[in-house]
Amino acid sequence: MKYLFIAIGIACLSTAKLSAQSLGFGLKAGMNFSSLENNLSAQYSATASANGFVGGVWGRAKFLGFFVQPEVLYTQRKGAFTSTADSTAVINKLSYIDVPVLFGYKFAFARINVGPNFQFLVNANQEASAKAKDPNFSIDNFNASNVGLQAGVGVDLLRLSIDLRYDTNLGSIGNKINVNGTTFDYSTRASMWQLTLGYRIF
């Protein structure tokens, strides 16, 4: 948990150092279209991407067209699979507090940005039938924190903003575990497209 506070502190300092310049603050919410790599091929086959919620706050400090934009977001990352046991849908859902710190350039009403995304796992669950559900699925199978990368574009229209980003992990989000001689591999990567609508308060 201390790493979460460190990341939020970095985000706040990124804005505070440019406090003499033009600052902005707002809210945002939208959808993630995410997928998780499938390392459990004997049990599950991957299907389409799954939708998840994202929402939180953002700040922006601008200087000569450039800007730094830290955010604190609640983010759902999901993976959709089909169980080979009974052909039913299996959804692995991971919930995070994300702290992206984006650096970008604004021209006219459009923006481009890229930066690291510090991710802190707060919940993990699996939605599946009783037969398809993995009894070993647990939040303990996944890393408590990860670092990812975000890149995207956005437009600002008065107080509204629309952003489209691609988000990926730089490393695996989970671990391999051994249960009674059987290995369950959760050393997967997560990637997603993210579409959000924001509102600038000031």
Give me the helices (H) in the chain, please: 2-16
Structural domain of residue 144, as residue ranges?
Answer: 2-200
Contacts of 167 (CB under 8 A, 6+ apart): 32, 117, 148, 149, 150, 191, 192, 193, 194
Q: Residues 69-95: what's their mean pLDDT?
A: 85
Tell which wins on pLDDT, 186 or 17: 186
- pLDDT digits 0-9 by tens, 160-195: 999 999 999 888 888 765 544 455 566 677 889 999
Closest CA relative to residue 55, chosen from 31, 79, 36: 31
**Domain holding 60: CATH number?**
2.40.160.20
Residue 65 φ then ψ, to 5°:
90, -25
Q: What total of structural domains would you count in the chain?
A: 1
